[in-house]
Amino acid sequence: MEGVTGYKIARPDGWDFYTGKTINYRKSIGKIVKLDQAKIECEEVFTKKINIASAYPNDCFYTDTFTYVKSDDNFHLLGYDAWGEFHYSHRYLLYVSRKRDTIIDKLDCSVYRIKGLPIYEEKRYWGFEELEVIEEIKNLDALFGWKYSEAINPIDPLSQKHKVNQEDIDLLVSWVSLYQSSTLDIIDTVFETIKKRFGSNLRELIWDTLVASTANKTASRIWKELDGTPLDEVPMNNLVKRSFIFSFEALCYAYIGSLFPNIYQWKKIQHKKGEYPFKPAADLWRKGLLPSFDGKIWRLHSGKNAKMVYEERIP
């Protein structure tokens, strides 16, 4: 294989995701790095880690290392059966196992441009025994092509107060119309579009970041304003809670979708190319106005206590 140039993801402090202490890519700029190769004996077979880098920046979020198996001078398929038992084939070829040793589980990261001679090549990934760290890439919004800086620090809509005006009411009416469309699943539309373009793991990382930083506490504040009881103490078969949760999750996904301005066509919905179809909800979120729905009445909430500032029974 010829030498290639690609991208390598690491923790925000520069250390690898694999162990957090094996390679510091930030301190290795201009140097050659190599994973420690601890061999695991299995009869005459041993497994070996290889360093994964990506041809495209957004593929970095998939995984950090893979494993391959070698016996004598031949490579064998590594895998696990339905019961999790180790096995390997006797086909003589180089193959990287589908077992991912380190799944990237944090959106917050640093990214490096690397080059090297891969010993393994897949459609969008390379595997290296060693690689050279060329530089750290600082502008990750530009690199990834979406609002990374906002995704790792999502807007807390209840951190600001906003007085409702007619423009806000019109946004709410537009959002309700989208939400009530019998042919539209907003969550599925956003999820499937991002998955097709960037992969499901990226969507999950953004969702997890939003939930951990903002969404859970925001939902709890709104529910307390509506019902006066802790959200987690109300059973999910409560119809009012179900209506509230479903509408709130759709709102969160509408906000997530707005982080991808370079997606010009969203799946399963007719809209003008380049126009984000769920912009009304995202605009309300950024203004500090959050819609809620109890199955009958739509409301807008604002401020740290999620005070209700507007309500309307919208048909």
**pLDDT tens digits for range 111-152:** 999 999 988 777 778 888 899 999 999 999 999 999 999 999
In the chain, what percentage of residues exceed pLDDT 70? 83
Instruction: Centre a 10 Å sphere on the Cβ of residue 33 and count the other Cβ atoms it contains.
Output: 21
> Domain locations in the chain?
4-143, 146-312
Classified as helix, coil or strand, 310 is strand
For 250-283, the pLDDT digits (tens) are 999 999 999 999 999 999 898 998 999 999 999 9
Confidence at residue 313, expressed as pLDDT on a 0 to 100 scale: 87
- Look at residue 64 in the predicted model and tell me its pLDDT: 80
Residue 188 vs residue 102, higher pLDDT: 188
CB 112 within 8 A of CB 29: yes
